[in-house]
Structure 1
Amino acid sequence: MKADALIVGAGIVGAACAAELAARGLRVVVFDAHGIGGGATAAGMGHIVVMHDSPAEFALSRYSRDLWLELAPQLRERDAFSRCGTLWVAEDDEEWRAARAMHDAFAAQGVSSQMLDASALRECEPALVHGMAGGLLIEQDSIVYAPSVAQWLLKMSPAAARIDVRPGTRVVAVDAHSVRLANGGGIEASHVIVANGIGATELVRSLPLQPKKGHLLITDRYPGLIRHELLELGYIRSAHHATGTSVAFNAQPRPTGQLLIGSSRQLDTTDPAVEMPVLAQMLQRAARYLPQLPDLNAIRAWTGFRAATPDGLPLIGRYGVSAAGETIAGDSNAGVWLAVGHEGLGVTTSLATAQLLAAQITGGAATIATDPYLPARFMHGVSHA
């Protein structure tokens, strides 16, 4: 099949981009060194959440959550989509005030949320430790098993006939119109998209991406123990602004009845091994909120690496090309399309990322402004090519 677009990466972001481009009539080839839905997609929690750390993050996550809610009726049982909602837990009066501010900010943008006082919080989630000040419930937030959805997007979505997936195929070099494979072969197309997370730095070496290591743990089945995705109000501060090693409480009820427990962030390592001191610190933090946790049976723990940019926003657009059409002279990667740098919001923002990227490639209209996510914001010293 002659391709219009070549995509490096078959995780949830690459799969979403492939499905969207194919839906717009392009013929797409997707390469992945391993298989569909690996990497950060397989390592993450699959939480679909509206985040408000910045206006641009809010716009992208809110738009993408709406797209997920539209897609949900087409998904299969194995994709494990559940509209369980997110419950932000306020530990004290300061966090209660932060929850109120978050509620007001969401209300101003038309996002439904519900304030819960201490009594309502205990009724909503009896397993939470008593003494919490209250919480904020975002009912439309959801969870999904992202590796399975990536497979559906590439193999079973309405436009899948125009997608050729090549697992076990490693790309070693890219330029604006071709990829070179590890076996020495090369393939040309009108567009090349790099969407393989932190692996993108091996292909476009000047990208401003940093790996953030995270630990997760899953328990045995305890149906009904918690009902919502639970996060502490300090999570946002921990996720984006902490240095060194940090942990925050995050617990998710899987449709299987299992609990998925997070989260940790490390900036000083690329070792994928589970580190027991970090895992212990993360679980100790979680036990402050869920006192029953130490009595539960853990099945498995693992790690993954989030690709983070300096400003916490993804790179969605052409690398090495400014808004004025200027390019970096002498950079062989100039003109390559990027869909990377989503940090912990890759699943949440994958569908919106695909829409924004496809609109740029095909010249269509974008629902939200693309400027905050363009790679050009990190360009310096561009010149006309």
Structure 2
Amino acid sequence: MTADVLIVGAGIVGAACAAELAALGMRVEVLDAQGIGSGATAAGMGHIVVMNDSPAEFALSRYSRDLWQELAPQLRTCDAFARCGTVWVAADDEEWQAARVMHAAFEAQGVSAQLLDAAALRACEPALAESMAGGLRIEHDSIVYAPTVASWLLTQSSGAGNIRMRLGARVTAVSGGDVTLADGERISAAKVIVANGLDAQKLLRSLPLKPKKGHLLITDRYPELIHHQLLELSYIKSAHHATGTSVAFNAQPRPTGQLLIGSSRQFDTTDPAVDMPVLAQMLRRAAHYLPVLPTLNGIRAWTGFRAASPDGLPLIGPADDSAPGVWLAVGHEGLGVTTSLATARLLAAQITGDVAPIPVEPYLPVRFAQKAAHD
């Protein structure tokens, strides 16, 4: 098969782009240095969540969550898709007022959300600390096991017959018409899409991406201990820290009955080792919200690296003048799983010249070149 499109990266974003373009009849070849969903996709929580830190983040995450809801009936048991919903937890009166503001914003945009006072929160999630002031429930948020979904998109989606994969193929250079592999082989195609997260910087040095290291811990099985994805209301502020180390409470009920506990963010390191002081800080924070946590058995901790852009939004569209003919789908930070399906739709619309389902301007890579020129 001679490919129309080469995609570098077989994570959830690359897989979504491949499935979308293949469904349009394009012949797609996907190259990855490791395996399907083996990078940031495997390291993350798989939380599908509407975020409203900015209008652009809200538009992309909401549209993508709708696409996940449409895809869900096709997914398998092993993909662990569950509509558990999200509860944003308010620890005090100030955060309770923030929850009320957040509720009004969601309701104005047609996103179903329910305010929970302290008693309702306690009834909803009895394991939370009794001191919590309330919360906000977003009922249609979900969770999924992203590595297996990436595999399904590449092998079983409607266009899978148009997709070929080459795993263990490390790309060392890209241009608008071909890629070069580590063994010197060159593969040509009309279009090249770079969707391999932080490793994209090794191919395009000018990309404004920074690594954000994160820790996660999974427990033994404690069925029904929590029922929703739980996040503290100050999580958004933590998620967009640009320097230093920060932690925030984030707990997910896995379909297995296990709890997945996060989250942390560190800059200026690419060491994948678990940082025990940071892990301890993260777990202390979580125990403030879930007092039972210190009595549970944690069975594994690991780290991953989010590819963060300066403004917290992904780069979706043609690369800058230094790489003519190359397309980007990178910089999703902690929302790669959530926004993968929308990213694929936006990129496909640009490639085919169709009208995009939501405005693409906030995500175009050229915005950083324009800012540099203005500065």
TM-score > 0.5 by shorter chain:
yes
Equivalent residue of 1:379, what SS? helix
Q: Would you say 1:334 and 2:324 are equivalent positions?
A: yes
The answer for the alignment partner of 1:370 in structure 2 is 360
Deviation at 1:241, TM superposition (A): 2.7
For residues 106 and 31 of structure 1, the distance between their equivalents in structure 2, rounded to whole angstroms, comes to 39
Deviation at 1:268, TM superposition (A): 1.9
Q: Cα 1:217–1:292, aligned 2, differ >3 Å: closer, same or farther?
A: same
Equivalent residue of 2:351, what SS? helix
Q: Would you say 1:349 and 2:339 are equivalent positions?
A: yes
Deviation at 1:382, TM superposition (A): 10
For residues 266 and 122 of structure 1, the distance between their equivalents in structure 2, rounded to whole angstroms, comes to 32
Aligned-residue CA RMSD in angstroms? 1.1
The answer for the alignment partner of 2:210 in structure 1 is 210
Unaligned stretches of 5+ residues in structure 1: 321-327
Which deviates the most, 221-230 or 234-243? 234-243
The answer for the alignment partner of 2:249 in structure 1 is 249
Q: Would you say 1:72 and 2:62 are equivalent positions?
A: no
Q: Cα 1:73–1:268, aligned 2, differ >3 Å: closer, same or farther?
A: same
For residues 163 and 268 of structure 1, the distance between their equivalents in structure 2, rounded to whole angstroms, comes to 37
The answer for the alignment partner of 1:47 in structure 2 is 47
For residues 52 and 4 of structure 1, the distance between their equivalents in structure 2, rounded to whole angstroms, comes to 36
The answer for the alignment partner of 1:276 in structure 2 is 276
Q: Cα 1:259–1:382, aligned 2, differ >3 Å: closer, same or farther?
A: closer
For residues 370 and 173 of structure 2, the distance between their equivalents in structure 1, rounded to whole angstroms, comes to 23
Q: Would you say 1:138 and 2:138 are equivalent positions?
A: yes
Deviation at 1:15, TM superposition (A): 0.1
For residues 268 and 241 of structure 1, the distance between their equivalents in structure 2, rounded to whole angstroms, comes to 13
Equivalent residue of 2:212, what SS? strand
- After superposition, the C-alpha distances for 1:2-49 in whole angstroms (9 at most, x for unaligned) are 000000000000000000000111000000000001110000000000
- After superposition, the C-alpha distances for 1:293-350 in whole angstroms (9 at most, x for unaligned) are 0010011000000000000000000001xxxxxxx3xx3x222100000000000000
- After superposition, the C-alpha distances for 1:277-306 in whole angstroms (9 at most, x for unaligned) are 000000000000001100100110000000
Aligned-residue sequence identity (percent) comes to 76
After the TM superposition, which residues 141-290 of structure 1 pair with which residues of structure 2 at under 5 Å, given as runs? 141-241=141-241, 243-290=243-290
Deviation at 1:380, TM superposition (A): 4.6
**2:227 is matched by which residue type in structure 1?**
R
For residues 243 and 49 of structure 2, the distance between their equivalents in structure 1, rounded to whole angstroms, comes to 23
The answer for the alignment partner of 1:325 in structure 2 is none
For residues 102 and 226 of structure 1, the distance between their equivalents in structure 2, rounded to whole angstroms, comes to 23
- After superposition, the C-alpha distances for 1:61-108 in whole angstroms (9 at most, x for unaligned) are 000000000000000000000000000000011101111111000111
Q: Structure 2 length normalisation: TM-score?
A: 0.98
The answer for the alignment partner of 1:323 in structure 2 is none
For residues 54 and 272 of structure 1, the distance between their equivalents in structure 2, rounded to whole angstroms, comes to 30
Unaligned stretches of 5+ residues in structure 2: none
